[in-house]
Homo-oligomer: A and B are copies of this chain.
Amino acid sequence: MADTPDRSGEDPDEAIMRATYRALSTHGYADLTMQRIADEYGKSTAAIHYHYDTKDDLLAAFLDFVLGRFKDAVHDVETTDPEDRLELLLDGLLVKASEHTELLVAMLEMRAQAPYNDTFAERFRENDAYVRYLLETVIDQGIDAGAFADADAEHVARVLVTIVDGARTRAVVLGEETALSTARRAATEYLAATLDHRPAE
């Protein structure tokens, strides 16, 4: 979700993804139409259908795109220090999300459709597994390096994504402006208790 410089301005897939982002942010999921995406794209719906058969195909690609942007941002993190990496991952999941509240609204609508839409459900499970893998890996590295206290890394990672998902849900449903910063503080407190990890001031 992080904004990074446009690397391939001419790529129609990327241009359609950016148009989908704008259309979702403006109209939400329930009122999203191929026409509205085409309007943002600046071309006809036929130009979109050339790349994506259905709206759900396009939205599945969009979910992959959002995860891809997150992966890019993770790869751009240059430090290999487990403590710093864990902090940066949590900032990426909680702090940067606050810059994209309209997208959080549309994403919650899509998430609520997961029980009825296998394509969405599969994407959300894959994305969640990837984020948990990142967290668990950096926690295990920190434990191995002696930077963190010994802990059940798989459980700690699950608790962190639970806090992230709770904060994002609350930001949307309750319009709670402090939901993400409360969650960031909660993650810090939880990691101090379970990993004896205290971020540098």
Taking A162-B166, A193-B189, A193-B192 as contacts, is the C-beta distance between A112 and B172 under 8 angstroms? yes
A73 at the interface (CB under 8 A from B): no
A174 to chain B, nearest CB (A): 5
Of A1-9, A39-47, A80-88, A120-128, the stretch lying at the interface with chain B is A120-128
Total A residues in contact with B, Cβ cutoff 8 Å: 43
Taking A112-B112, A182-B162 as contacts, is the C-beta distance between A128 and B174 under 8 angstroms? yes
CB-CB contacts of A184-201 with B at 8 A, as 1s and 0s? 011001101110000000
Q: Is the CB of B155 within 8 A of A185?
A: yes
CB-CB contacts of A153-191 with B at 8 A, as 1s and 0s? 001001101111111111011110011001101100110
Secondary structure type dominating chain A contacts: helix
Give the residue name and chain of the B residue nearest to A129 (CB). B174
Q: Is the CB of B170 within 8 A of A162?
A: yes
A108 at the interface (CB under 8 A from B): yes
Contact residues in B for A116 (Cβ distance below 8 Å): 28, 30
Give the residue name and chain of the B residue nearest to A194 (CB). B189
A36 at the interface (CB under 8 A from B): no
A115 at the interface (CB under 8 A from B): yes
Taking A111-B108, A193-B193 as contacts, is the C-beta distance between A162 and B174 under 8 angstroms? no
Q: Is the CB of B173 within 8 A of A114?
A: yes
Contact residues in B for A144 (Cβ distance below 8 Å): none
Question: What residues make up the interface of A, taking CB atoms closer than 8 Å to B?
Answer: 28, 30, 105, 108-109, 111-116, 121, 124-125, 128, 155, 158-159, 161-170, 172-175, 178-179, 182-183, 185-186, 189-190, 192-194
Which 6 pairs from chain A and chain B are nearest by CB? A166-B166, A193-B193, A162-B166, A112-B112, A165-B166, A159-B186
